[in-house]
């Protein structure tokens, strides 16, 4: 079976012939039609998350998938062979850059009827990130003011649409060339990060979704109204994440130290900061499917690559400079 793997951390992604996946009682075997690429894939390859997500080598990369069910385990009740599905594979079982993969039933949802497999494959990780940030953690309400950084990216382009659906006033940061595109998605205010300082332009916001980190996160805290919340998806990780992930005491202590500065700043300002490392959820994807089929959320695919060009596609993800998501296809 064709897959794209790497053999050691920082090693190149390359094609290999790997064994067919074993299908457990609660698993669904999926034929990959398309797979989304994420910066997370390259961060795993380079070892950035090896303390949090220890994987055995060689490892097949890939978190997002859209495809067709080939076989189901004996305890699977929600899917049958021939179903069109999509999902974000849970941590510890990644590997969607492969012709076939066995996925836990609870990580999958029926694919939206109104979009292509390529568009469906672009959604799971970024749409779940937006959902878990805005709905689950942020509890964004109508009339609130929301700032979403990097609006033209994979997470940002979906988060803008979701925040607008929730009734929020939405500001975003991006290059000026993307302003019209982002207003079409629902952004009320677009800040050109190249020529404007969002801290000077915005104030009194209820929620910030930050995908940049560093000084950008610190400035984001300062534009929040008292009681506001910033969710970071680039870090730094916080103690709640370390506890939920079951990390060892040494790592928990290190993570506490990493986020201590930003947490102190947030407390002094009367706001809060939380780190989000999104999780797989077929249940939440069903909610997202309904929004897609209702025309409320539309996927943004910047470019597709054939399966054989997966390494080049991942390199393009690292370079950036595109709208939405990049996707590989396996017709």
- For every residue of 172-186, DSSP letters joined together read EEE-GGGHHHHHHHT
Residue ranges for the chain with pLDDT beneath 50: none
Assess if residue 209 is contained within a domain: yes
Say yes or no: 140 and 113 in one domain.
Answer: no
Torsion of CA 175, 309, 234, 295, to 10 degrees: 70
Reading the block at residue 177, the tokens are 């060339």
55, 58, 43: which is closest to 3 by C-alpha?
Answer: 58
What confidence tens digit (pLDDT) does each residue in 279-324 have?
Answer: 999 999 999 999 999 999 999 999 999 999 999 999 999 999 999 9
CATH number at 212 reads 3.40.50.720
Residue 284 within a domain: no
Read off the tokens for 150: 């990097």
CATH of the domain at 10: 3.90.180.10
Task: Say yes or no: 111 and 207 in one domain.
Answer: no
Which of 275, 290, 307 is the last residue in one of the domains? 275
Note whether 124 and 87 are within 8 A (CB). Answer: yes
Asked whether the beta carbons of 64 and 123 are under 8 A apart, the reply is: yes
Q: Measured between alpha carbons, how far is 154 from 221 in angstroms, rounded to an integer?
A: 23
Q: State the Cα–Cα distance between residues 131 and 144, nearest whole angstrom.
A: 16
Q: Residue 290 falls within a domain, yes or no?
A: no
Mean of the per-residue pLDDT values for the chain? 96
Residue 263 and residue 303 in one domain: no
Q: How far apart are CA 295 and CA 304, in angstroms?
A: 22
How far is the C-alpha of 226 from the C-alpha of 330, rounded, in Å? 49
CA atoms within 13 A on the CB side of 105: 17
Residues 139 and 269 in one domain: yes
Cβ neighbourhood burial of 194 (10 Å; 0-12, 13-18, 19+): exposed
**What are the Cα distances from residue 246, in Å, to 39, 92, 168?**
24, 14, 35
- Confidence at residue 265, expressed as pLDDT on a 0 to 100 scale: 96
Q: What's the confidence (pLDDT) of residue 148?
A: 98
The answer to whether residues 145 and 266 belong to one domain is yes
pLDDT at 21: 97
261, 318: one domain = no
Are 143 and 251 in the same domain? yes
- On whether residue 8 sits in a domain, the answer given is yes
In a domain, 281, yes or no: no
Q: HSE (CB half, 13 Å, CA atoms) of 264?
A: 6
Q: What's the confidence (pLDDT) of residue 331?
A: 82
Would you state the pLDDT for residue 52?
86
pLDDT the model gives residue 67: 98
User: Do residues 80 and 144 both lie within one domain?
Assistant: no
User: Which tens digit of pLDDT belongs to each residue from 148-195?
Assistant: 999 999 999 999 999 999 999 999 999 999 999 999 999 999 999 999
Provide the 8-state DSSP code for 263.
H
CB atoms within 10 A of CB 13: 22
| pLDDT value for 51 | 87
Provide φ and ψ at 63, rounded to 5°: -115, -30
The Cα–Cα gap between 320 and 315 comes to 9
Tokens coding 288: 């997202």
Can you tell me the distance from the alpha carbon of 237 to that of 250, in angstroms, rounded to the nearest whole number?
Answer: 14
Burial of 92 (0-12, 13-18, 19+ CB in 10 A): exposed
Do 60 and 117 lie in one domain? The reply is yes
Residues 24 and 157 in one domain: no
Do 110 and 129 fall within a single domain? no
* Token pair 């996946």 in the structure block, residue: 21
Structure pTM? Answer: 0.96
- Identify the domain containing residue 86 by its residue range: 2-123+299-329
Please state the domain count of the chain: 2
Cis peptide before 236 (omega within 30 of 0): yes
Using alpha carbons only, what angle is made at residue 306 by residues 123 and 89, rounded to the nearest 5 degrees?
35
Specify if 220 maps to a domain: yes
Examine the domain organization and report whether 39 and 54 are in the same domain: yes
**Which among 103, 104, 101, 92 has a CA at the least distance from the CA of 1?**
101
Boundary (domain end) residue, out of 259, 275, 291: 275
């Amino acid at each position: 079976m064709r897959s794209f793997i790497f053999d050691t951390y920082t090693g190149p992604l390359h094609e290999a012939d790997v064994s067919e996946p074993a299908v457990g009682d609660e698993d669904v075997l999926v034929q990959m039609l398309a797979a989304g690429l994420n910066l997370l894939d390259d961060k795993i390859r380079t070892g950035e998350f090896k303390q949090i997500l220890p994987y055995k080598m060689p490892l097949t990369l890939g978190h997002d998938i859209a495809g067709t069910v080939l076989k189901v385990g004996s305890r699977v009740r929600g899917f049958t062979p021939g179903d069109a599905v999509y999902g974000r594979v849970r941590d510890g079982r990644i590997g969607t850059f492969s012709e076939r993969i066995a996925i836990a039933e609870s990580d999958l949802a029926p694919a939206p009827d109104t979009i292509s497999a390529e568009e469906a494959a672009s959604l799971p990780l970024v749409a779940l990130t937006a959902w878990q940030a805005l709905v689950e953690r942020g509890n964004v309400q109508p009339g609130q003011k929301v700032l979403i950084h990097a609006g033209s990216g994979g997470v940002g382009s979906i988060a803008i649409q979701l925040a607008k659906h929730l009734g929020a006033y939405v500001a975003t940061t991006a290059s000026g060339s993307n302003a019209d595109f982002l207003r079409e998605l629902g952004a009320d205010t677009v800040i050109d990060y190249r020529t404007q300082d969002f801290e000077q332009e915005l104030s009194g916001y209820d929620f910030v979704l930050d995908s940049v980190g560093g000084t950008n996160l610190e400035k984001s805290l300062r534009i929040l109204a008292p009681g506001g919340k910033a969710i970071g998806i680039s870090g730094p990780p916080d103690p709640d994440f370390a506890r939920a992930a079951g990390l060892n005491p040494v790592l928990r202590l290190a993570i506490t130290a990493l986020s201590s500065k930003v947490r102190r700043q947030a407390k002094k300002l009367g706001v809060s900061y939380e780190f989000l490392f999104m999780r797989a959820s077929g249940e939440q994807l069903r909610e997202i499917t309904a929004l897609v089929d209702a025309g409320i959320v539309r996927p943004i695919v910047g470019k597709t690559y054939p399966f054989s060009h997966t390494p080049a596609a991942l390199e393009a993800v690292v370079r950036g400079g595109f709208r939405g998501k990049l996707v590989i296809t396996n017709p």
